[in-house]
Each structure stands twice: as C-alpha cells, then as structure tokens.
Amino acid sequence: MADNKRDKVKEHSAESDLQEKVLFINRCSKVVKGGRRFSFSALVIVGDGKGKVGMGFGKANEVTDAIRKALQDGKKSLVFFELEGDTIPHDVEAIYDGAHVLIKTAKKGTGVIAGSHVRSILEIAGVKDVVAKNLGRTNPSNQVRATFEALSQLQNKATALAFRGKL
C-alpha cells in the first residue's frame, strides 16, 4: 500500500516539472431561441525544457474547462527529440495541411528566431539557438501540427549515420 503512494508521488513530481502555455483560445457562438450560446476551444503546449514537448486541444462551454481538457490531452501526447547542445541536430522542414514550417540549426548565442507559435513550442521544448520560418498559412492549429511533424523527423547524428551504413 505504501509503495503505491510513493509511485503516485513520483508520477506527480514528474508531471510537475512540465511547463504549460496557452497558445490560442477560440470562441464559437451558436444562435438559439434565447440568444447566443458560446463555446470555447483551447490550444495548449506542455514541455519540460529538455526535448520533451506535447500539444493538446480541448473544447468546452467554459474557458477554464477547455484549457484543463487541453492540458490533459497535451500531457498524453508528449513527444521526445534529442537536442545537440542548445540547438537541433539538423535542418528540418514539414508541411501539415496549409502550414509549411522550416527549422534550421543556429550557432551558439543566436537565440530563438521564429514566429509566435513555432517560437513558443521551441522555447517550451528547451531549444535555445534555432532559426525557423513559417512559409505557409498561419492557422494556429495547423502551424503547431506542422512544427510537431518537423520535430518528430529529428534524429541524432549517430542514428542517422547508422541508418545510412556509415558508422
């Protein structure tokens, strides 16, 4: 019984080091007999600053409920990628629907040079030096998904060389 409590404490402490950021809140209205009914959707990212980041999307009739649902979804969808120092291992490009994102490595001290949503994801993920460009549409949801697509393509040098048979 005591072991279960310890396990729960360990899990809770592992989740508590995650940073959370609300990227976008959308209000939707439906006209009914008595007036308008509003519902909200929230786009949230969570990350630990060490190469682990997740995205969540939640919908509800209240803003706080939508954010809570999005956070739960984001914690379930965490992806991990390896960093090479403070930057990414190689340049990467991805397209999701109309959004087109290009992410390039940068020298130490460059900082994060990117648009709003891509910048937020890279900062939460722990990337310190990178240059990114949004080449397509600016729909927040698609832009975030394109960024996650790009980050999922990243490999460290040893894995890439082994795959090519050069190692």
The pLDDT tens digits for 35-86 are: 999 999 999 999 999 989 999 999 999 999 999 999 999 999 999 988 888 9
Amino acid identity for residue 104 in this structure: K
Closest CA to 150 of 53, 33, 66: 53
Which tens digits make up the pLDDT trace of 125-156?
999 999 999 999 989 999 999 999 999 999 88
Let me know whether 73 and 111 are in one domain: no
Q: Which helix (H) or strand (E) holds 93?
A: strand 92-96
Let me know whether 53 and 89 are in one domain: no
Let me know whether 56 and 43 are in one domain: yes
Among 21, 53, 79, residue at a domain's last position: 79
Q: Which helix (H) or strand (E) holds 123?
A: helix 116-125
Among 79, 102, 130, residue at a domain's last position: 79
DSSP-assigned letter for residue 106: -
Which tens digits make up the pLDDT trace of 29-45?
999 999 999 999 999 99
Domain of 93, CATH number, reads: 3.30.230.10
Domain of 33, CATH number, reads: 3.30.160.20
Distance of CA 152 to the CA centre of its chain: 11
The whole-number average pLDDT for the span 17-25 is 92
Query: Looking at the 3D structure of the chain, how many domains does it have?
Result: 2
The pTM score is 0.84
Let me know whether 58 and 88 are in one domain: no
The whole domain housing 75 covers 2-79
Let me know whether 86 and 136 are in one domain: yes
- What is the rounded distance in angstroms from the CA atom of residue 152 to the CA atom of residue 27? 30
